[in-house]
Amino acid sequence: MTARPRWSSDELEQVRGLAATYFTKEVLPNVPKHVAQGHPDKALYRRAGELGLLCMSIPEAYGGGGGTFAHEAVLTEEQVRAGDPTMGFAVHCSIVAHYVLAYASEAQKQKWLPKLASGEWVGAIAMTEPGAGSDLQAISTRAVRDGDFYRVSGSKTFISNGRVCDFLILAVRTSDVKGHAGISLVCAEVSDTTPGFERGRILEKLGGHGQDTTELFFDDLHVPAVNLLGGEEGKGFAQLMSQLPQERLSTAILAQASIDRAVDLTVEYTKQRQVFGKPLFALQNTRFELAECATLRRVGRAFLDECIERHLAGELDVASAAMAKYWLTDQACIVADRCLQLFGGYGYMKEYPIAHLFADTRVMRIFAGANEVMKELVARSL
């Protein structure tokens, strides 16, 4: 990062330093292990909880840090800056915890949030199905009311934190009403021995190695009826739509941090790499390419900072969040590709961070709503 963001503060910069130390000293040495096993160690979630890095935007009354979304933004930026692709903090902190904070009962908040904030539990949210991705109205996983329980049957895929999660928010169909009206959100406490719950294979991805993305299966999973978020069936789609702007802003932060890292890595490399008897950076093409990437970086940062400031003020609208998500993730892929080219053959080698960055950025144009869907949301606002 070239300069302190406008929305930052001395306290946030201290958090930034703590997060940087955590990732570089405690997570990075374990990344090869995480990649080999397909998921991060849960002990590192607990360590992050001990350091106060989890759920920093959740009120202290529920075990959180009492901060704002800016604290989560700093954590995300430092994770990318350190080069860690494995820890699923964006889902755990910025998404799952905030569904609980927004829609759970007071008793449930008191029970669930402290465990998420401490790292005792890892959180996940299961929306996507084999036949329903960005089109959430097409989900078919059913939750049938049976006395004091819902009986859940169906399957989910591409679930981040699916292998290690203890707490799961499930998008389910609770009625035969077509479209969004029949969708609800229920919360399940799960383990490897929970009847009716099965973790499928850890999916092998192009990038993001070591961050578990998993299939989940439900065969008559019993979930207490009181775990229906919002206390009324059919509210799930509206709840999802209300929370998705923050998820998309989190994705935009990931993208901007990736742009920052790609430019920093490439400037450093081209100034050291010798070509035709002089630094690669001395060649006009290199300088022009990096000048353009640096400009995209500056423009992206200005737009992102505006969106973060608006979100902190409660003023970020759906269209702006969609703009930030689609445009910044597009630029992250463009910048990663142009920077990798400047590394030449070394850029294609896995031992060089730019290769991993290139692979890791591609999925950003897909998750949290495909970029084509984001453009449709923007168009509806015109």
Question: Could you report the per-residue pLDDT of 228-265, keeping only the tens digit for each?
Answer: 999 999 999 999 999 999 999 999 999 999 999 999 99
pLDDT at 255: 98
Question: Which domains, ranges and CATH numbers included, belong to the chain?
Answer: 10-121 (1.10.540.10), 124-234 (2.40.110.10), 238-380 (1.20.140.10)
Please give the structure tokens belonging to residue 340: 């990798």
CA 13, CA 193: separation in Å to the nearest integer? 42
Block residue for tokens 């000293």:
25
Reading phi first (left if > 0) and then psi (alpha if -120 to 50, else beta), residue 11 is in: alpha
Q: Which of 106, 247, 289, 306 is catalytic?
A: 247
Instruction: Examine the residue annotation and report whether 309 is marked as an active-site residue of this protein.
Output: no
Q: Would you say 123 and 169 are in contact if contact means Cβ atoms under 8 Å apart?
A: yes
CA dihedral 243, 77, 12, 55 (to 10 degrees): 40
What are the beta bridge partners of residue 151?
Answer: 144, 222
Q: Are strands 167-173 and 123-126 parallel, antiparallel or unpaired?
A: parallel
Distance CA 161, CA 40 (A): 9
| pLDDT tens string 73-127 | 999 999 999 999 999 999 999 999 999 999 999 999 999 999 999 999 999 999 9
Do residues 64 and 57 lie in contact, with contact meaning Cβ atoms separated by under 8 Å? yes
Cα-based angle 149, 150, 156 (whole degrees, multiple of 5):
145
**This prediction's pTM:** 0.95
Name the packing angle between helices 236-272 and 318-342 (round to 10°). Answer: 30
Q: What is the DSSP string of 296-311?
A: HHHHHHHHHHHHHHHH
Please give the Cα distance from 371 to 236 (Å, whole number). 22
Phi/psi at 108 (5° precision): -70, -40
| SS3 category, 209 | coil
Q: What is the pLDDT of residues 135-170, one digit of tens each?
A: 788 899 999 999 999 999 999 999 999 999 999 999
What are 24-42's pLDDT values in tens digits?
Answer: 999 999 999 999 999 999 9
> Does the pLDDT at position 1 exceed 80?
no
Q: In angstroms, rounded to a whole number, what is the distance separating the alpha carbons of residues 364 and 327? A: 11
Q: So what's the pLDDT on residue 2?
A: 61
pLDDT higher than threshold 80 for residue 225: yes
pLDDT at position 333 is: 98
Convert the pLDDT of each residue in 340-376 to its tens digit: 999 999 999 999 999 999 999 999 999 999 999 999 9
| Distant-in-sequence, close-in-space partners of 21: CB < 8 Å, separation ≥ 6 | none
Are the beta carbons of 214 and 203 closer than 8 angstroms? Answer: yes
Mean pLDDT in the chain?
96
